[in-house]
């Protein structure tokens, strides 16, 4: 950012970084992160890791979907960095695995509903739509302007690595096994993620109860905004912000709950959430540096 930032990129040195930083963000590819993080922790650093390497508690689950884990013992101390769910654990942690963007957008709407026999825990369908920035900056025909523009497609249908991440967190919350069907889609926009979730209602769950449950569950959470009934989230309204907007509908004809969330995949879905975790770990106000007004368009 010409004229605004004068930080310089320097070669990584675990010794120097650990000695000088209050907290370290590691934003490295999967597998590379697990080679670097132990050296930082050994030297006393607190780490927020943005790869998948420290998001799982169950190493076998990680190894089934990714590869052999080189630092499995660290998984016991790592905390899943979703502050609305794990606030106290994060506060006391020195290693946080920052959640994936899709899991953030799916877990937050579902969390209030996976206990209390409200919905079928094996009936959950998660249909997510992401802007092209989710695919990263590496070069691929997949992100060529002319392939994205006016294109719309699903990918890794029921085989994306974020499904087990979602399931492990929800299973812990539910204290019962949760299985989800998860389909990600690529949408012709730069930023933003909209996730539409479907689940069978087990007994009776009137719209008012859904709204009340969402409002009370996220009552004191500064970055979750519950929409009024009949209003649904729009990625435009969270763009550039750390908000998660959540709306809902009860399909009475099918007795099915529909939850919809919108996040900015690059903020609440990645770096903003990492800063939120930092704030918590450092005893700062949770919202420090994160109250920028959304930047629609």
242 binds its own copies (CB under 8 A): no
Shortest approach of its own copies to residue 98 CB, angstroms? 21
Which element (helix H / strand E) includes 261? strand 256-263
Region binding its own copies by CB under 8 A among candidate stretches 7-15, 75-83, 249-257, 276-284: 249-257
Are 38 and 71 spatial neighbours (Cβ–Cβ below 8 Å)? yes
Task: Name residues contacting its own copies, limited to 25-64 (CB under 8 A).
Answer: none
Q: Collect all residues with Cβ–Cβ distance below 8 Å to 263 and sequence separation of at least 6.
A: 101, 104, 105, 192, 193, 235, 238, 243, 244, 245, 269
Q: What is the DSSP string of 27-41?
A: ---TTTHHHHHHHHH
146 binds its own copies (CB under 8 A): yes
Among 251, 284, 288, 289, binds its own copies (CB under 8 A): 251
17 binds its own copies (CB under 8 A): no
Residues assigned a catalytic role = 101
The encoded tokens of residue 214 equal 């969402």
Shortest approach of its own copies to residue 185 CB, angstroms? 7
The distance of Cα 166 from the centroid of its chain, to the nearest Å, equals 9
Shortest approach of its own copies to residue 58 CB, angstroms? 15
φ and ψ at residue 143, rounded to 5 degrees: -110, 10
Nearer to its own copies, 43 or 185 (CB): 185
Task: Name residues contacting its own copies, limited to 182-211 (CB under 8 A).
Answer: 183, 185, 187-192, 194, 196, 198
């Amino acid at each position: 950012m010409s004229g605004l930032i004068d930080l310089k990129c320097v070669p990584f040195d675990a010794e120097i970084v650990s000695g000088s930083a209050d907290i370290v963000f590691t934003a490295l590819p999967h597998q590379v992160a697990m080679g670097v993080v132990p050296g930082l922790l050994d030297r006393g650093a607190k780490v927020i890791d943005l790869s998948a390497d420290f998001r799982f508690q169950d190493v076998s689950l990680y190894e089934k979907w990714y590869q052999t884990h080189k630092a499995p013992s660290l998984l016991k101390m790592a905390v899943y960095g979703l502050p609305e769910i794990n606030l106290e654990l994060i506060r006391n942690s020195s290693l946080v695995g920052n959640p994936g963007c899709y899991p953030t957008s799916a877990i937050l709407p579902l969390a209030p509903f996976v206990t209390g026999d409200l919905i079928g825990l094996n009936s959950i369908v998660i249909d997510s739509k992401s802007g092209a920035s989710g695919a990263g900056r590496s070069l691929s025909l997949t992100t060529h302007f002319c392939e994205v523009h006016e294109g719309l497609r699903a990918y890794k249908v029921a085989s994306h690595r974020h499904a087990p991440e979602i399931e492990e967190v929800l299973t812990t919350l539910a204290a019962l096994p949760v299985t989800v069907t998860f389909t990600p889609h690529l949408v012709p926009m730069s930023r933003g993620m909209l996730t539409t979730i479907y689940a069978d209602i087990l007994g009776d769950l009137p719209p008012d109860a859904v709204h009340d449950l969402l409002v009370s569950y996220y009552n004191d959470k500064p970055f979750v905004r519950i929409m009024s009934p009949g209003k649904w989230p729009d990625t435009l309204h969270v763009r550039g912000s750390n908000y998660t907007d959540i709306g809902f509908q009860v399909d009475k004809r099918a007795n099915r709950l529909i939850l919809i969330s919108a996040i900015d995949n690059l903020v609440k879905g990645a770096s903003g959430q990492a800063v939120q975790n930092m704030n918590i770990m450092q005893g700062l106000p949770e919202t420090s540096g994160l109250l920028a007004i959304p930047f629609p368009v």
